Amino acid sequence: MAEIKNKVVVIIGASSGIGEATAKKLASKGAKLVVAARREEKLRELVTSINQENIYFKKADVTKREEIQAVIDLAMEKFGRIDAIFNNAGIMPQGNLSALEFDKWQQMLDTNIMGVLNGIGAVLPIMKQQQDWLIISTDSVAGHVVYPGSAVYNGTKFAVRAIMEGLRQEERENGIRSTIISPGLVDTELVNTVGIKDLEETLKQSAKEEGLGLRAEDIANAVVYALEQPKGVAISEVLIRPSKQPV
């Protein structure tokens, strides 16, 4: 088992939910962190709550390549290396294709797919020099199964699976490993992006019931599991469902 203490980890999408829980979990194990998200005040609150050295934050929107590059630059400036990046930002608008919600579709493509690619692109040159890297991205059960009302979201999450597997194959000789964490329903603010009021309320209630929803800390534990593996072990996928989830 690899030590997490003193590992340098960048978390994109850290202002709440899974990203926040992961930051707290890794900090408790002695990791050095750079956390990023769009909401600067939430990041400030997170850093204050952790209340220790070796954690920095930077406001960044995953759809803006230059802002993600600035996060990576900050990590290199402060620590001189990066051991892992966790691409965690995402949105989940729902609705049938017949609704023709082109703007929502574009938002999902820009955030869920390009956001991951922007993270990968920012660190890949550094990875090739270090020859030892782990890239983790939050995927979803929705990236493994398709269901009505979610075709575009499903598509973005299937794309993340393909991108991360392609990355593994292309860079395996360079010491670069990739992991996707695929949760089912989690009690986080992601539900607020669904865009259908009745469905949002139903999901919020379900997410708080044991067996129907997961806690953000459950997913943070999976990230820790991937990070604790030795260099010669690649955890390609961690699929985590609430025990009563039907899909």
**Is 193 inside a domain boundary?**
yes
**Is 245 inside a domain boundary?**
no
At residue 194, does pLDDT exceed 90? yes
pLDDT confidence of 2, banded at 50, 70, 90? confident
**Is 211 inside a domain boundary?**
yes
pLDDT digits (tens, 9 = 90+) for 132-183: 789 999 999 999 999 999 999 999 999 999 999 999 999 999 999 999 999 9
Domain region containing 111: 8-240
**Is 41 inside a domain boundary?**
yes
- Cα atoms in the Cβ-side hemisphere of radius 13 Å centred on 225: 15
**Is 247 inside a domain boundary?**
no
**Is 82 inside a domain boundary?**
yes
At residue 204, does pLDDT exceed 90? yes
Are the C-beta atoms of residues 232 and 2 closer than 8 Å to each other? Answer: no
Please report where in the chains the tokens 């050295």 appear, as a residue: 53
pLDDT of the residue at 226: 97
pLDDT of the residue at 128: 80
* Residues 117, 64, 42, 80, CA torsion sign: positive
**Is 17 inside a domain boundary?**
yes
Count structural domains, the chain.
Answer: 1
At residue 221, does pLDDT exceed 90? yes
Give catalytic residue positions. Answer: 153
**Is 18 inside a domain boundary?**
yes
CATH number at residue 171: 3.40.50.720
Are the C-beta atoms of residues 136 and 87 closer than 8 Å to each other? Answer: yes
Average the pLDDT over 55-62 and give the result: 98
Average predicted confidence (pLDDT) for the chain: 96
At residue 243, does pLDDT exceed 90? yes
The span from the CA of 185 to the CA of 233, in Å, is: 28
At residue 58, does pLDDT exceed 90? yes
